[in-house]
Structure 1
Amino acid sequence: MGVDFHEPSEPYKSSTLIVRLSFIGVFLYVATGVAVYMTSGSFKGTTTFRPVDAVYFTMVTLCTIGFGDIVPDSTFTKIFTCGFILVGFGFIGFLLNGLVAYICDTQEAFLLSMMDENRYKNILSTYMVDEQKGRMRIRTKVCLALVVVIGCIAIGTVTVHYAEDLNWADSIYLSMTSVTTVGYGDYSFRTVIGRCFAIIWLLVGTLVVARALIYLTEYSIHKRNRKMAKWVLQKKITLSDLAAADLDNDGSISKSDFVIYKLKQMGKISEIDILQISKQFDSLEHGMYGKITLADLMETV
């Protein structure tokens, strides 16, 4: 078993691959849907310009909204749509979530780099950035995500108001039911202009809302983990804790034993993690002294 002195492949490279696959996947998905719906059967419901309807229906299917304003009208297209939904819900959804994660991570890195030259660095660092972990605070991500969601709803409301000739209340209602993928179907996009706008806006809006929900979930889990960590650190060690942390059964625990035990209690590491790390250490350590030396590393080259 050799030692790799090179750094593992950077996550950035895999992220850029996901971005490329996302665009290719969406293009193939939309192209396939348009080709099938343009050549096989027709739609029933509120139709406009057939190519626009085909792209619009494909995007509504991908976003799992299901307005019901237009639906397949032939047996073949109905069967095709069943499989089309599963593909969009699974594979394409995974790629698009990866794309959104990449965009969010890139934006976070940009904001962090900008703070080095910002005169309000101290204020921003206190409330927005976790300097110890070198990343934005989760509550900051939640706030930014909610701002973007509100922005998407606002853009949709204004556009729907003028493109679909709806009053402001109905425009807000349609925008909200669209980006949240509820899609009751009582209001939908019925004009060519409205559907052209919806093709892009629905995809962006639903992904933004999904990401905001993920951040909200992360925030909730983060708060729970912090409470757990605080309880573990304040908890006094007992005889049962001493016995559990005593890995070599010598009646005492070292500082490293104590740290590992506390991390396990906090849920930050598991027994499997410890065993895997220990196994890797044992594979590199040949002197039987409990240490990895330069000689050990040279033997594995």
Structure 2
Amino acid sequence: MLRKCKSEPLLEYLPEELNGNYISHPQPISIFHKLHRISTLSISICIFLYIAIGSISFHFLSHQIKGKKTNGFLDSIYFCIVTITTVGYGDLVPNSVATKLLSCVFIFSGMAIIGLLGIRGADYLIEKQEMLLGQAMILQEEVINPQQFVNEFKTRIVWYKLVREIIFLLVLIVVGIIFLNRVEKMDFVDAFYCVCSTISTLGYGDERFSTKAGRVFAIFWILISTLCLARLFLNVVEVRIEKRRKELVTWIVTKRLWLIS
């Protein structure tokens, strides 16, 4: 490990293959990696506890919830999922003071968890920016060939992640349409309409999962598809960051070479 001054990011020398030759050069590591941050595991635990506590609570109060029901505990889990994802079809509605107050608690709890996901995404983007600063600081002392340095940015990986999320989301959409058509007996237009309103968390409520098998499917599909859409937006931002990153590196290298010459 190397640190040349207190304000400089920690650097670690790692072997990397570049232009057919193995070289060792410093790779920036985020200075925030030892600071407190919201981890993916913490968010996953929060979501699990939210669903578990909510399901048990609403199961005991299921007789105070009106709407089309299929299975007591299954409906409770389904109700928690459509609440935390803010879909809210309206097929299951609190019908007493106790359930309404409990729903308010879980609505704000779900919003808090979604907020944690947003904070985690912000942490990730901040770390990407801090890594860029580290690259620029290394650049001032060690880069000779500008093209060599620019090629180190793995923009193809970022684009690959974006394409992967798009494909995964399209697969989820197709699976959702087929399921709604075959199990919920919707025509393809209504199924596509239901899928779009669900993934976007609009949840108009005119088309929804109403069978027992449909709600089992919805518990997993709604949660995965809404999170996939959020990851897609994050990857779009990351692609933009990588583009600006590459432009900045090219500008710094060009300016440095101009000053040297």
With the length of structure 2 as denominator, give the TM-score of the two structures. 0.65
In structure 2, the residue matched to 1:172 is: 192
- Give the alignment partner of residue 34 of structure 1, picking from 55, 58, 63: 55
What is the Cα deviation at residue 207 of structure 1?
0.3
In structure 1, the residue matched to 2:136 is: none
In structure 2, the residue matched to 1:70 is: 92
In structure 2, the residue matched to 1:89 is: 111
**Structure 2 Cα separation of the partners of residues 20 and 142 of structure 1:** 23
SS of 2:66's equivalent in the other structure is strand
Determine whether 1:56 maps to 2:78: yes
Q: Is the 8 A contact 2:153 2:246 kept in 1?
A: no
The C-alpha deviation readout for 1:141-183, integer Å capped at 9, x for no partner, is 2221111110111111111111111111111111121112121
Q: 1:223 to 1:49 in 2, by over 3 A?
A: same
In structure 1, the residue matched to 2:203 is: 183
CA RMSD of aligned residues (A): 4.0
Determine whether 1:79 maps to 2:101: yes
**Structure 2 Cα separation of the partners of residues 213 and 46 of structure 1:** 34
Q: Which has the higher strand share?
A: 2
What is the Cα deviation at residue 228 of structure 1?
6.8
Q: 1:97 to 1:180 in 2, by over 3 A?
A: farther
Q: Is the 8 A contact 1:18 1:95 kept in 2?
A: no
Q: 1:222 to 1:70 in 2, by over 3 A?
A: same
| Letter of the structure 1 residue corresponding to residue 216 of structure 2 | C
What is the Cα deviation at residue 194 of structure 1?
0.2
What is the Cα deviation at residue 185 of structure 1?
1.2
With the length of structure 1 as denominator, give the TM-score of the two structures. 0.57
| Letter of the structure 2 residue corresponding to residue 94 of structure 1 | L
Look at both structures and tell me which one has the larger radius of gyration over its CA atoms.
1
Determine whether 1:160 maps to 2:180: yes
Larger RCO (alpha carbons 8 Å, 6+ apart): 2
The C-alpha deviation readout for 1:4-32, integer Å capped at 9, x for no partner, is x99899959x99x9344344322211111
Determine whether 1:139 maps to 2:159: yes
Q: Identity over aligned residues, as a percent? A: 30
In structure 2, the residue matched to 1:47 is: 69
Determine whether 1:198 maps to 2:218: yes
Unaligned stretches of 5+ in structure 2?
A: 1-5, 13-28, 125-149
Q: 1:160 to 1:97 in 2, by over 3 A?
A: farther
Unaligned stretches of 5+ in structure 1?
A: 103-129, 238-254, 260-301
The C-alpha deviation readout for 1:94-129, integer Å capped at 9, x for no partner, is 259859x99xxxxxxxxxxxxxxxxxxxxxxxxxxx
